[in-house]
Amino acid sequence: MEPSVASEPPLAPSLLFVLPVYDDWTVLASLLVDLDTMVSAEGLDAEILVVDDGSRSSVEDSSLADVLRGNRKSALTRLRVLELRRNLGHQRALALALAWVHEEMPDRTLIILDADGEDDPDDVPRLLRRYQQEDCQKVVFAARRKRSENWRFQLFYRVYQILHRLLTGSDIRVGNFSVVPPRAVARLVVTSETWSHYAAAVAVSRVPRCEVATDRAQRLDGRSKMSFTSLVVHGLSALSVYSHVIGVRLLLSVAGVLAISGGTVAAYVLSFGVPDWASAPMLALLASIWLLILLQTLAAGILFVFILLSGRQSASVLPLRDYQLFVRRVAEVPVAGSVS
C-alpha cells in the first residue's frame, strides 16, 4: 500500500491586497482581473484596498466598478478605495494605508504590491507559503532576481545599489511587494521612517523579515508616472532612513583617510629623512595644517552625527497619529456577484 501524500496546507485565509495608484485606473483594472483569477484558483478569501494617491480623476470616472462583473462570480469579496487629499508619492500613500488598516482591520494579513502589474500576482502563492513556513510572523519580501526595465534604468539602479552598499553597509534587493503580518503593521505605523520608505523602515525597525526570489514582470500597459527626478527622490528617501548610519560611516571614513595619509608621510620622513627642498619650519607648518584639518573634520563629523541623532528625537510625521489628516474618504466600489 502506497503512503498517502499530504496535501499542502491552505494559504492565509483572510487577506487584504493593498495597491497604491496614481491615475493608472486602466492598468489597475487589468491587474484586478489577474488578481481575481489567482485568488479564485488558490481558494483564498481576499479583499482589495486601492490607495488613491491624489489622482486627477476619481474612482467614479474609472471602470473599476465594472471590471469584476461578468458571467462568473468574483473571488474578491470587497473593493474599497482610500482616497487621499493630495498626491504624496507611493511610499507615503502606503504609510497612510498601513495606518488606516491598523485602525480599521487590525487582524488582516496584508499583501502589498504595485498597481502596474510589475509585481506578478502569480508570485503571491509562493510568498504566502513562505509566510506560513515562518509561522505568519515575518514580513516576506519578493527579492528582485531579474528586472524588466531598459538598460539605462538597470545601469543607474546598479550604481545606486553600489552606493547604497557603501553608505549603509547593507544591500537593497526588495521593493513594496511583500506579505505583512498584523504584528508588523502595528510596529510600522509607529515608526516615523515608514513615512519616507516602507522597505527601509522594515529593516531599521528590526521587524523580522525574509525574502523569496522573484522576477520582475512587465508593466501591463502604458508608461510609468514616475519621472527620473521621482526615482532619484525615491532612492534618496531610502538612504535618508539610514542617515545616522551614513553619518557615522562618513565620519570614520574621512578620519581614516586623513590618519592614513598623515601616517604615510610620517613613515616616509622617518625612513628617508627630510627632503632637501623642505625645511624644518615648513614641515612643522604642514603638520600643523594637517592636524588642524583632521580636528576640524572630526568636529564637523561629530556635530553632523549629533544633529542627525537629535533630529530623530524631534517631532515628525507618525503614520498612526497623522493619517486622518490626509484621508479624504473611503469609497466602496460594488463588486457584483462576489462570493460571500
Same domain, 101 and 172: yes
Same domain, 219 and 258: no
Same domain, 87 and 117: yes
Grid coordinates representing 147 are 528586472
Structural domains of the chain, count: 2
- Inside any domain, residue 235: no
Same domain, 119 and 200: yes
Instruction: Report pTM.
Output: 0.74
- Inside any domain, residue 172: yes
Angle at 180 between CA 44 and CA 335, to 5 degrees: 40
Residue 215, Cβ neighbours under 10 Å: how many? 12
Q: For 191-197, what is the mean pLDDT?
A: 88
Cβ–Cβ under 8 Å, residues 150 and 137: no
DSSP conformation class of 171: -
- Inside any domain, residue 339: no
Q: Is residue 26 pLDDT above 90, yes or no? A: no
- Inside any domain, residue 340: no
Same domain, 146 and 289: no
Tens-place pLDDT, residues 137-176: 999 999 876 655 566 666 776 777 777 677 777 777 778 9
Question: Can you give the CATH number for the domain in which 24 is found?
Answer: 3.90.550.60
Same domain, 221 and 266: no
List helix spans (H) across 242-273: 243-272
The residue behind cell 614641515 is 283
The whole domain housing 101 covers 15-225+319-333
Same domain, 147 and 101: yes
Residue 134, Cβ neighbours under 10 Å: how many? 16
- Region of 17 (left: φ > 0; alpha: ψ -120 to 50; beta: rest) is beta
- Inside any domain, residue 3: no
Same domain, 261 and 323: no
The residue behind cell 619650519 is 281
- Inside any domain, residue 9: no
What was the pLDDT predicted at 338? 55
What was the pLDDT predicted at 2? 41
Q: Are strands 174-180 and 139-146 parallel, antiparallel or unpaired?
A: antiparallel
